[in-house]
Amino acid sequence: MIPCLYDSSETEYADNGIGKLSDCQSCVVTEKRNGSYELKMEYPAEGIHADYLQEGNIILAKPADQVQSQPFRIYKITTPLSGELEICARHISYQLNFITVPPLSASGCPAALAALKSKATTDCPFTFWTDLTSGAGFNLTVPVSLRSALGGVDGSVLDTYGGEYEWDRYTVRLHQARGRDNGVRIVYGKNLIDFKMERNIENVITGVHPYWKNQETGAVLELPEKVITVSGKSVPYERIVPYDCTEQFESQPSVDALRNHAASYLKTTTLTDPNVDITIDFLQLWETPGYEDIAEAERVQMCDTVWVYISKLGIEVSSKVTETEYDTLLEKYKSVTLSNSVVSSRSSSLAASLGSIKNEASNAYQTAIRVESSISDVTALAENQGYYNVLAAALMGLHYSSGTDNNGNVVRYAYNAVSLEASTRAWRSGPDGLFYSTNGGKTWQYGWDTDYQAVSTVFDTLSILAGQIRGGTIDTQLIRISGNAYFHWTGNAILLTDPQDTSRMVKIGLYADGRYGIAVSSDGGRIWEESLGFEGVRLSEETPQNLDERYGKEQITVSEKAPEAPESDTLWIDKTMSEPFPKKRTRKRAKKRNES
**Highest-confidence range of 138-152, 279-293, 328-342, by mean pLDDT?**
138-152
Q: Of 307, 342, 371, at which residue does a domain stop?
A: 371
pLDDT bin (cut points 50, 70, 90) of residue 495 is confident
Per-residue model confidence (pLDDT) at position 465: 42
Of 188 and 467, the structure prediction assigns the larger pLDDT to 188
Is there a single domain that holds both residue 349 and residue 449? no
Residue 424, CA distances (Å) to 22, 420, 421, 439, 489 in order: 36, 9, 9, 6, 22
Q: Is 259 inside any structural domain?
A: yes
For residue 584, pLDDT beyond 50: no
Q: Is 444 inside any structural domain?
A: yes
Is there a single domain that holds both residue 576 and residue 494? yes
Q: How far apart are CA 333 and CA 327, in angstroms?
A: 6
Tens of pLDDT, residue by residue over 358-410, are: 334 334 434 444 434 433 443 444 444 444 455 455 545 567 777 777 666 77
Q: Is 413 inside any structural domain?
A: yes
Q: Is 30 inside any structural domain?
A: yes
The neighbouring-strand residues paired with 516 are 510
The neighbouring-strand residues paired with 309 are 187, 316
Tens of pLDDT, residue by residue over 404-457, are: 776 667 788 888 777 788 888 888 877 767 777 888 888 877 654 444 443 333
Burial of 356 (0-12, 13-18, 19+ CB in 10 A): middle
Is there a single domain that holds both residue 425 and residue 510? no
Whether 323 contacts 30, CB under 8 Å: yes
What string of DSSP letters covers 158-177? HHHH--EEEEETTEEEEES-
Q: How far apart are CA 74 and CA 43, in angstroms?
A: 13
Q: Of 478, 502, 527, at which residue does a domain stop?
A: 478
Tell me the residue range of the domain where 535 lies.
Answer: 484-596
For residue 112, pLDDT beyond 80: yes
Q: Is 468 inside any structural domain?
A: yes
Per-residue model confidence (pLDDT) at position 478: 42
Is there a single domain that holds both residue 343 and residue 449? no
Is there a single domain that holds both residue 426 and residue 469? yes
Kind and range of the H or E element at 523?
none
Q: How far apart are CA 326 and CA 396, in angstroms?
A: 35
Is there a single domain that holds both residue 207 and residue 161? no
For residue 279, pLDDT beyond 60: yes
Is there a single domain that holds both residue 194 and residue 334? yes
Per-residue model confidence (pLDDT) at position 378: 39
Residues 6 or more apart whose Cβ sits within 8 Å of residue 320? 33, 179, 303, 304, 305, 306, 338, 339, 340
Of 533 and 101, the structure prediction assigns the larger pLDDT to 101
Is there a single domain that holds both residue 339 and residue 458? no
For residue 588, pLDDT beyond 50: no
- Average of pLDDT values for 130-146? 88
Is there a single domain that holds both residue 364 and residue 290? yes
For residue 120, pLDDT beyond 90: yes
Helix (H, G, I), strand (E, B) or coil at 368: helix
Q: Residue 153: what residue type? A: V
Helices (H), 445-566: 542-551
Report DSSP state, residue 19. E
The neighbouring-strand residues paired with 572 are 557
Tens of pLDDT, residue by residue over 18-39, are: 999 989 999 999 998 888 999 9
3-state SS, one letter per residue, for 224-278: CCCCEECCCCCCCCCCEEEEECHHHCCCCCCHHHHHHHHHHHHHHCCCCCCEEEE
User: Of the ranges 116-130, 411-425, 573-587, which one carries the lowest mean pLDDT score?
Assistant: 573-587
Helix (H, G, I), strand (E, B) or coil at 537: strand
Taking only Cα atoms into account, the Rg of the chain, rounded to an integer number of angstroms, comes to: 41
Number of domains the chain is built from: 6
Q: Is 569 inside any structural domain?
A: yes
pTM of the model: 0.50
Q: Residue 482: what residue type? A: S
Q: How far apart are CA 105 and CA 120, in angstroms?
A: 13
510-513 contact pairs (CB < 8 A, 24+): none
Residues 6 or more apart whose Cβ sits within 8 Å of residue 410? 370, 371, 372, 402, 403, 404, 430
Whether 7 contacts 17, CB under 8 Å: yes
Pairing type for strands 100-101 and 536-537 reads: unpaired
Cβ neighbour number for residue 184 with a 10 Å cutoff: 21
Is there a single domain that holds both residue 107 and residue 164? yes
Q: What is the mean pLDDT of the chain?
A: 74
Could you report how far apart the first and last alpha carbons of the chain are, in Å? Answer: 108
In 388-440 the beta strands, taken as DSSP E runs, fall at 399-404, 410-415, 426-430, 433-437
Q: Is 180 inside any structural domain?
A: no
Main-chain dihedrals φ then ψ at residue 257, nearest 5 degrees = -65, -40
Angle CA 16–19–24, to nearest 5: 125
Count the helices and strands in the chain (H runs, E runs). Answer: 10, 39
Q: How far apart are CA 43 and CA 357, in angstroms?
A: 38
For residue 156, pLDDT beyond 50: yes
Q: Of 309, 341, 371, at which residue does a domain stop?
A: 371
Q: Is 395 inside any structural domain?
A: yes
Q: What is the Cβ-side half-sphere exposure of residue 216, based on CA atoms within 13 angstroms? A: 3
pLDDT bin (cut points 50, 70, 90) of residue 147 is very high
Cβ neighbour number for residue 186 with a 10 Å cutoff: 26
Is there a single domain that holds both residue 133 and residue 165? yes
Tens of pLDDT, residue by residue over 220-247, are: 889 998 888 887 666 677 888 898 888 7
Helix (H, G, I), strand (E, B) or coil at 406: coil
Q: How far apart are CA 161 and CA 71, in angstroms?
A: 28
- Average of pLDDT values for 591-595? 50
Is there a single domain that holds both residue 585 and residue 518? yes
Biggest CA-to-CA distance, the chain: 165
